[in-house]
Amino acid sequence: MLTGIQQIDQGTLMQMLRFYIKNGGNLMTFGPAGIGKTEMAMQACELEGYDFVYLNLSVLEAPDLMGLPVVDERSDVKRSEYALPKMLPPRGSLDKPIVLLVDEADKAKPELQNPMLELFQFRSVNGTKLDIHAVVATGNLPDENAFSQSMSHALMNRCGVYRVTHAFDPWQEWAVTANVNPLVIGFLSSNPEFLLQPPPDGDDTAYCHPSPRAWTLAAHDMDAAPDADVNFQTLLVSARVGQPVAVKFQVWLEHYRFVEPMIRALVEKGEAPNLRDSTLDRIFVCAISGVEAIARECRKTPTEAKAKKAQQERIRKVTENVMNWVKDLPSEIQIGALKSTLTMDIIKENSLFTIKPFMSAYVKIRKAMQGEDK
């Protein structure tokens, strides 16, 4: 286990990533496989306006990082120098320095850790200065059966070191922004304990288990087969998160298939779904799917002025149709449906606050979240 290491969730991790990248520091994060460490580092680089170079230390040999010795033919005295690896930019070769993303640092061979000392401290290899502004490194936890090994204390002393744990809310915010399938987000908002479930202790063959990465990939698989039946989509999900959790997700999908015709009638005609004797899960699935139709319309980007105007009218119509029903639902369903599908950027950019039923539901949600809903 890691001793004396500060633990942070993904929300705080993004703050730390942006801080270290902005200020040209070194950051080392340990955390469970699939929790999103590398993906978030890439996103942080984009947010701070830096390109990155990705290194996977688990597949590198020492010469891959240090370069190979070559004879300097320009000198009268024959001397050797090192030819830099192509992926490491020498100082002055770029318009703007890059961020170096060092993945699988815990699986690096021991002979790689010494050149990393120079890279982390001096931004150089064998004395050659590099166009590297910041370094972000990631590794798995020692007890994950991921072939991890102890890291050099000298190397860790050159970094800010954190252990990353998972929390649902930061992942949900990221997932909505990344357009992860809202049925996956909705299922996990009702069952957050399934976001990350490491393999049982001592079981080296539990190759499929829930993690943020596994759910994101499962959502992409579902998006690629939107018209497949429930059984096929369940097979896709089970290949990512494992069979036990996929069985529970199948029930969620069956709710969606039951309400699908109702959603179309709601979106196009404003007809309230007939869910008088339905479970809360089924109502929740219907609400998520209806609000997702609003988000889908908002994400369309016509270029011609006439098409833009028609799209604005379409957004208003769909929003009014859906929210005239959603605004009268229990606040916990409203909160879950909107948080699973809409970002504040989408709401503002499309002026959804100007649409009366949307504003009515939003005010109700704000009161509920502030404890004012009696």
Summarize pLDDT for 228-240 with one digit per residue, the tens: 999 999 999 999 9
User: At residue 244, does pLDDT exceed 80?
Assistant: yes
User: At residue 83, does pLDDT exceed 80?
Assistant: yes
Q: What is the pLDDT of residue 85?
A: 87
User: At residue 346, does pLDDT exceed 60?
Assistant: yes
Q: Which of 158, 93, 151 is nearest to 120 (CA)?
A: 158
Q: What is the pLDDT of residue 144?
A: 64
User: At residue 95, does pLDDT exceed 90?
Assistant: yes
User: At residue 54, does pLDDT exceed 80?
Assistant: yes
Tokens for 245, please give them.
């959790």
- Tell me if the pTM is above 0.85: no
Query: Does an H or E element contain 22, and which?
Result: helix 10-22
Domains of the chain as residue ranges with CATH: 7-164 (3.40.50.300), 179-369 (no CATH)
Q: What is the pLDDT of residue 1?
A: 63
Query: Which band of pLDDT confidence, cut at 50, 70 and 90, is reported for residue 81?
Result: confident
Give every CB contact of residue 269 below 8 A, 6+ residues apart in sequence: 321
Q: What is the pLDDT of residue 201?
A: 64
Q: Determine the Cα angle at 69 with ends 66 and 74, to 5°.
A: 125
Give every CB contact of residue 74 below 8 A, 6+ residues apart in sequence: none
In whole angstroms, what is the distance from residue 304 CA to residue 238 CA? 43
Q: What is the pLDDT of residue 374?
A: 44
Return the C-alpha torsion angle 185, 165, 123, 94, nearest 10.
10
Tell me if 350 sits within 8 A of 299, measured CB to CB: no
Query: Which band of pLDDT confidence, cut at 50, 70 and 90, is reported for residue 202?
Result: low
